[in-house]
């Protein structure tokens, strides 16, 4: 192991991900240089330049940094994607952090913090955004009343629907519908 390689491993340098692989001798786990899940001592580390070499010597990929998945963006990105998918699938239901965190087997506070950190928005904002997008599509169908649109989008009352929609879109559902049909007639 060169001095430069050790500095990259010691500093958890993300720039070396995919270039170097850190084999942890006692546990027989191979990690990316940026992985912080295992303590590193120079005498207990074997450096590999190819993942295949580490695997051939009996090391197994770290389950936290996933060096065997080169385009993997990390556990947090995976969690955020799972949260988005859950919210999209359950958008018609009342938002429940307990249900969401339970379905994803993660602490609710950690999920809130990770989602906000990764996306810049809250889970509730995203839930309302998905429902408003569904409502916008339904508002283009003139046979549905405003309250029916709100109900089908997952809102429990038309007043709540109107309040949330106006906050998210900057106009009421009826104003949105009028503008939508005016744009079709132009």
Q: Which of 25-29, 63-67, 143-147 has the lowest mean pLDDT?
A: 63-67
DSSP 33: T
Give this prediction's pTM.
Answer: 0.65
Based on the fold, state whether residues 48 and 15 are members of the same structural domain.
Answer: yes
Give which of 142, 177, 174, 143 is closest to 158, Cα–Cα.
174
Whether residue 164 lies inside any domain: the answer is: yes
- CATH at 17: 3.40.10.10
Question: Is pLDDT above 70 for 72?
Answer: no
Residue 84: which domain range? 75-121
Determine the Cα angle at 129 with ends 115 and 72, to 5°: 35
Whether residue 66 lies inside any domain: the answer is: no
Give which of 80, 57, 76 is closest to 66, Cα–Cα.
76
**What pairs with residue 60 in β-bridges?**
29
The stretch 165-179 carries a mean pLDDT of: 90
**Rounded to whole angstroms, how far apart are CA atoms 123 and 100?**
10
């Amino acid at each position: 192991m060169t001095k430069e390689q050790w500095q990259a491993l010691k500093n958890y340098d993300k720039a070396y991900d995919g270039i170097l692989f850190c084999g942890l001798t006692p546990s027989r786990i191979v990690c990316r240089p940026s992985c912080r899940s295992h303590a590193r001592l120079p005498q207990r580390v074997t450096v590999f330049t190819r993942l295949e070499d580490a695997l051939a010597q009996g090391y197994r990929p770290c389950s936290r940094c996933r060096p065997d998945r080169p385009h993997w963006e990390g556990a947090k990105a995976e969690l955020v994607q799972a949260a988005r998918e859950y919210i999209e699938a359950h958008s018609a239901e009342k938002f429940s952090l307990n249900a969401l965190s339970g379905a994803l087997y993660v602490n609710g506070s950690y999920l809130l913090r990770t989602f906000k950190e990764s996306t810049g928005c809250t889970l509730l904002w995203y839930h309302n955004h998905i429902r408003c997008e569904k409502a916008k599509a339904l508002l283009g169908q003139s046979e549905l009343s405003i309250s029916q649109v709100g109900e089908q989008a997952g809102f429990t009352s038309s007043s709540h629907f109107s309040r949330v929609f106006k906050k998210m879109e900057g106009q009421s559902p009826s104003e949105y519908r009028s503008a939508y049909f005016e744009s079709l007639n132009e």
